[in-house]
Chains A and B, each alone.
Chain A
Amino acid sequence: EAGVAQSPRYKIIEKRQSVAFWCNPISGHATLYWYQQILGQGPKLLIQFQNNGVVDDSQLPKDRFSAERLKGVDSTLKIQPAKLEDSAVYLCASSLGIPGYEQYFGPGTRLTVT
């Protein structure tokens, strides 16, 4: 079974530029999550999708971050414009959506904003 795929693996941009990350979840997983992991901290949930609908985006900085999952499969997370403090690893995870079911994580995208 293929795991969660993410691209790119690494990205370096200057502040005020825009960037987009892509995630393809495990086939059949209805729930998709984006997390932000700042160096030295645990992952923090940014947004949760159930199929193509948003379940929780309470911690997403909506003035600069956006995410979509148009067909209920893959997803993109965008930052525009980027700030220095956005430097982090962005993790995508997916799950069947059954309560208590395990979340499977992708390898992450490491973003450096200079």
Chain B
Amino acid sequence: GDSVTQMEGPVTLSEEAFLTINCTYTATGYPSLFWYVQYPGEGLQLLLKATKADDKGSNKGFEATYRKETTSFHLEKGSVQVSDSAVYFCALIHVDQGGSEKLVFGKGTKLTVNP
């Protein structure tokens, strides 16, 4: 079945460092891809998404490009801040034969940014 693999954490960076969190997927067809973020004590929030190959999703300085050839959707940010400390989840939409949509998540990567 469809699955998402993202890099193991935790990741610890200094403020203003460059961030990459790798994400690859296995799916039939071309699913929509997402990055969700979970700040401490809060629910999951959609960070960005891309719906087709070569699309670039971006939000709050984060970017990810849908790469069909490598089945990847890596998350990047040029300069992280302490406030970016959170757990980041890569996900895809699986559509079953009945047409219902189901989010399939990776295991999450915990990011800690130190001042």
Contacts and interface: CB of A to CB of B under 8 A. Distances in A.
A33 B36 CA distance: 16
Interface string B55-97: 0000000000000000000000000000000000101010110
Given A48-B102, A55-B98, A100-B51, A108 B107 contact: no
Contacts of A99: 95, 99, 101
A60 B77 CA distance: 37
Nearest to B90: A42
Interface in A20-60: 33, 40-45, 48, 50, 55-56
Contacts of A44: 105
A100 B30 CA distance: 13
Nearest to B95: A99
A112 to B, nearest CB: 16
A35 to B, nearest CB: 8
B100 A55 contact: yes
B27 interface: no
Contacts of A56: 96, 98, 100, 102
15 contacts: A4-B43, A33-B103, A40-B107, A42-B105, A42-B108, A43-B105, A45-B102, A45-B103, A55-B98, A93-B44, A99-B95, A100-B32, A100-B51, A100-B101, A105-B43
